[in-house]
Amino acid sequence: MAHLLDSLSSISNSNSFNKETVGNVVDLSDVPALKRLNVNVEQPCEQWPSLESNESYTLAVEKGHATLNSVSIWGALRGLETFSQLVYPDEDLLFAINETIIYDFPRFQHRGFLLDTGTHFISLKRLKMNLVSKFDEAMAQSKMNVFHFHIVDDQSFPYDSITYPGLSGRGAFDLNHIYSQADITELLEFARQRGIRVFIEFDSPAHSRSWGRAYDILTKCYSGEQPNHKQGPMDPSRNTTFEFLKNFFYEVAQIFPDRYVHLGADEVYFDCWYLNYISYGEDWHKYYMCDPLNFTEFVDSTNVISTTWPRASAAAERLWSSADVNDVKEAIPRLEEHRCRYLRRGIPAAPVNGPSYCRTEYND
């Protein structure tokens, strides 16, 4: 065990385990001071994280010093998050940490979290809450590394296109529910600094009614041989549709740095169906045992944080950890502890394990 000096305690102020979770320590009067954490990154810093990024790291905490070694800057970020979670408060010494050696790496390179802003607009502030800082580390604390941004849908087109400004001008709910180019740039940089990829989705060729409010690219529907004045998915029979998509996705490739774009491509028929699922309490057990999916017809800025966290952390643990880390009973105290950590960091994560309390409650 070591006592953290002020220079290190500032890294992990209120990011910690409860003291009793790390053992019964009687006397801390003669423990050595942890004077520094040395971080060594082998490769030059990449500008953007990618699917191929190496997130592995080694963390050694010894008497007087700690060392974090990683291949890439993204591995260093994951290791720093682990370091902050190893630190716990002590009544006499302010903060303390146990000696340990950790070799860690993710099971999956893509550990994503999807938000749909086409059915319900979610403000930039709330989007940043999910990525990180006073709402600063919801994804980063759980070592998720992909923000799957389902930005448009039938209901609205909130992306402010440079090439086709009418898409948001006529396709958004209104002009107050639009992500400007400045918003997108800020979000991309905000995510990059925390090692999170922004994986953009422009749902097509179905779920595209909002596209057709300003541009004539949708299929004209018929009842028998007569037009019925309804519209279907994007019309593949006209060359103008493909020219439109070519120009639009050229812009998307210039704005979003990730190598991948999601096109949705689901439900390409006229009578669409939706899956809506929202629940509470110990429902996270289902997410822990399988791949979770949450459509957001009932989620917006008012409840996206408490609905998502810490439930998504259950999936995040499965995506990062070894395949044999899958016992729900063993995960319960970890998720409970992680929820309390969220509250200490200012994230209003909901209770998920029944009656309990955290020493530090959320205070907006």
φ, ψ of residue 244 to 5 degrees: the values are: -60, -50
- Integer Cα distance of 360 and 152 in angstroms: 38
- Alpha-carbon torsion 266, 165, 257, 240, what sign? positive
* Cβ atoms 71, 33 nearer than 8 A: no
Listing from the earlier edge strand, what are the strands of the sheet with 36-41? Answer: 36-41, 65-70, 57-62, 100-104
Query: Helix, strand or coil for residue 303?
Result: coil
Please state, in angstroms and as integers, the Cα–Cα distance from residue 310 to each residue in 84, 87, 137, 304, following that order: 18, 20, 12, 11
Closest-CA residue to 151 (of 229, 203, 111): 203
- Which candidate in 267, 297, 336, 337 is catalytic? 267
The DSSP 8-state label assigned to residue 33 in this structure reads: E
Q: Which residues contact 166 (CB under 8 A, 6 or more apart)?
A: 214, 215
Closest-CA residue to 110 (of 174, 55, 170): 55
- Integer Cα distance of 294 and 128 in angstroms: 19
267 catalytic? Reply is: yes
Report the DSSP beta bridge partners of residue 65.
36, 62
Neighbours of 52 (CB within 10 A): 9
- Integer Cα distance of 29 and 33 in angstroms: 11
- Integer Cα distance of 117 and 203 in angstroms: 11
Report the DSSP beta bridge partners of residue 201.
150, 262
Question: Beta strand 100-104 with 94-97: parallel, antiparallel or unpaired?
Answer: unpaired
> Hunting for tokens 């990011």 — which residue is that?
15
Phi/psi region, residue 187 (left: phi>0; alpha: psi -120 to 50; beta: rest), is alpha
Q: Which residues are catalytic?
A: 267
